[in-house]
Amino acid sequence: MLCGRDRFLCGKKLYFIMANLCRDSNSNIENVFTEKEGNMQVLDLSEYKRIGISGAHGVGKTTLATKLSRISDLPLIPEFARDLLKLTHFNWRNPAKEDLVSWARFESAILLSYLFCVRTMPSFVADRTIFDVFSYILLQVAKYPFLAEYFVQARKCVESVDKLYDVILLYELPDGYDDRDGFFIHHCLERMLDGIKNDVRVIKINRDDKIYYGASYVTV
């Protein structure tokens, strides 16, 4: 738990990290879908080949990405960090102090792995984006500021991304969501995606929204 001066310095560090990532003062996140069916928002993604699903943990990214990959015939980039964490038995919420440096290297490797996938695959549906991975890095840096030095390369990768996605779907937090770390992740994602300016369309989605791909559709 950070307190006093450490929390203040950490807050300043995070502010400047986020400010550097937010390169455009004009919002890039869309809230309005292309049309509506009754009370349900509808979006047609048929023209997109590189789709990223973004949002805090537990909102439904994996379910949506799997469904969307199936109806679109676009290959799925799965969320593999969770399975790797299970294999390593690392507790990312309350890590042991002696494990922190190993975790930092692990998280950097995860980010570079995602980056390799989205840069080399011509089409995909990605269950989380590199911005999601970096948000979890920021979460741990907020708790343990000394870890920032281990993420210099990761930060440069995120700051210098070219057009990796055609569209990113950002999950809104559902009613009743009460995970404090999840709120932090969502805030980081909003800040980063709000400033992205490489012709990527960023659209907020909610549960029960309807997403078409060709003649098929999925419900969020």
Cα–Cα separations (whole angstroms), residue 107 to 85, 123, 184: 10, 24, 17
Q: For 2-11, 85-94, 131-140, which range has the lowest pLDDT when averaged over its residues?
A: 2-11
Report the C-alpha gap between 183 and 187 in whole angstroms.
Answer: 6
Dist CA 199 CA 162 (whole Å): 9
For residue 29, list its beta bridge partners. 202
Average pLDDT over residues 11-21: 42
Looking at the chain, the number of H-run helices and the number of E-run strands are 7, 10
Highest mean pLDDT pick, 91-100, 103-112, 155-164, 179-188: 179-188
Tally of structural domains, the chain? 1
Q: Residue 19: give its domain's CATH number.
A: 3.40.50.300
Mean pLDDT of 156-169: 80
Residue 20 lies in domain: 4-219
Classify residue 176 as left (phi > 0), alpha (psi -120 to 50) or beta: left
* pTM of the model as a whole: 0.78
The conformation of residue 27, written as its DSSP 8-state character, comes to -
Report the alpha-carbon distance of residue 58 to residue 173 in Å, rounded.
9
Report the 3 state secondary structure along 166-196.
CEEEEECCCCCCCCHHHHHHHHHHHHHHHHC
pLDDT score, position 89:
67
